[in-house]
């Protein structure tokens, strides 16, 4: 789909029209397919909108790097194109930073906010040294071997080969620039001073065994966002979305106005 000067691969799972659409922002370097288990676990009445960022999955790379404010502007145009004035918004990992930026930049279009395995950006509690090092190494992630290296780091659960395999299949930037541009977009970005301005009802979910985004980051987000609810759940950075029945039920309940 052509959005301004950007070509985005967009996937829409139709709902029944009775619920507000849910816009999902995905993690770094991963195609929208990695969220398939979570989408399947959500109430089928909810329309779910997903997209591949530039240079990731089926979206072609852009020529120049972009910042999160620019990409939030692209999402604003995407909602115009789809005919949605207001959505619920979920961000996972890197996509959680984008979701925070969009909520700050275009808050009138967001009713409820869900932040999963994410942080405040540059000013946050870092992950393990090994995880931090591996995430900074520019790899040819379309190559299964390189992708499996990161999968090993972010999948904390023992016996998680199947989940790591799912990550490897979906963690495929079409261009190395896609990964590097995503990385550069959050290197100097932080939401820390602005979190008290997020007015949306917010669900913050963190994995207790997450080596990439330690659960302390979820606590910081939940403490600084005025209307936030915190949920710390078992699992690492990957399992929280690939073993998604628990998260799906939490999100469904939250969006329906019930306790998550």
Task: Point out the catalytic residue in the list 18, 40, 59, 93.
Answer: 93
Q: Is residue 215 assigned to a domain?
A: yes
- Is 92:117 a contact under the CB 8 Å cutoff? yes
Q: Can you give the CATH number for the domain in which 241 is found?
A: 3.40.50.1820
On the CB side of 75, CA atoms within 13 Å amount to 34
pLDDT of 49 reads 98
- Is 209:127 a contact under the CB 8 Å cutoff? no
Q: Is residue 260 assigned to a domain?
A: no
Rounded Cα distance between 70 and 90, Å, is 18
pLDDT of 167 reads 54
DSSP three-state, residue 96: helix
- Phi-psi label, residue 78: left if phi above 0, alpha if psi -120 to 50, beta otherwise: alpha
What is the pLDDT tens value at each position of the chain, 260 positions in all? 999 889 999 999 999 999 999 999 999 888 899 899 999 999 999 999 999 999 988 999 999 999 999 999 999 999 999 999 999 999 999 999 999 999 999 999 999 999 999 999 999 998 776 665 555 555 444 455 555 555 555 555 555 455 555 555 555 555 778 888 999 999 999 999 999 999 999 999 999 989 889 999 999 999 999 999 999 998 888 878 877 788 999 999 999 987 65
Q: Is residue 233 assigned to a domain?
A: yes
Outline where the chain has alpha helix (H): 36-41, 68-82, 94-105, 129-136, 144-154, 161-170, 176-187, 215-224, 239-242, 245-255
Counting every residue written for the chain, the total comes to: 260
pLDDT of 142 reads 46
pLDDT of 6 reads 93
Rounded Cα distance between 44 and 216, Å, is 32
Among 49, 37, 48, 68, residue whose Cα is nearest residue 8: 49
Rounded Cα distance between 114 and 24, Å, is 9
Catalytic residue list contains 93: yes
pLDDT of 214 reads 94
- Is 242:154 a contact under the CB 8 Å cutoff? no
Q: Is residue 110 assigned to a domain?
A: yes
Q: Please state, in angstroms and as integers, the Cα–Cα distance from residue 145 to each residue in 140, 155, 182, 241, following that order.
A: 9, 15, 21, 22
Cβ-Cβ contacts under 8 Å for 92 (sequence gap 6 or more): 24, 25, 26, 27, 35, 116, 117, 118, 241
Domain enclosing residue 73, as ranges: 2-255
pLDDT of 170 reads 54
Q: How many domains does the chain have?
A: 1
- Angle, CA 171 vertex, CA 167 and CA 174 arms, to 5°: 160
């Amino acid at each position: 789909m052509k959005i301004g000067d950007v070509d985005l691969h967009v996937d829409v799972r139709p709902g029944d029209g009775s619920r507000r659409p849910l816009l999902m922002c995905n993690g770094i370097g991963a195609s929208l397919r990695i969220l398939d288990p979570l989408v399947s676990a959500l109430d089928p009445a909810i329309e779910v909108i997903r997209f591949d960022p530039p240079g990731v999955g089926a979206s072609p790379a852009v020529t120049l790097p972009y910042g999160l404010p620019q990409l939030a502007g692209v999402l604003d145009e995407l909602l115009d194109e789809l005919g949605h004035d207001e959505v619920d918004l979920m961000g996972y990992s890197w996509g959680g930073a984008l979701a925070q930026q969009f909520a700050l930049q275009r808050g009138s279009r967001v009713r409820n906010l869900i932040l999963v395995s994410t942080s405040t950006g540059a000013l946050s509690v870092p992950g393990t040294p090994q995880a931090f090092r591996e995430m900074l190494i520019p790899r040819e992630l379309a190559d299964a071997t390189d992708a499996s290296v990161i999968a090993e780091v972010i999948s904390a659960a023992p016996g998680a080969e199947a989940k790591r395999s799912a990550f490897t299949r979906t963690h495929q930037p079409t261009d190395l620039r896609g990964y590097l541009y995503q990385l550069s977009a959050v290197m100097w970005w932080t939401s820390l001073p602005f979190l008290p301005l997020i007015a949306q009802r917010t669900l913050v979910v963190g994995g207790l065994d997450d080596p990439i985004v330690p659960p302390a980051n979820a606590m910081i987000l939940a403490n600084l966002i005025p209307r936030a609810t915190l949920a710390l759940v078992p699992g690492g950075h990957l399992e929280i979305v690939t073993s998604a029945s628990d998260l799906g039920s939490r999100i469904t309940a939250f969006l329906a106005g019930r306790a998550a």
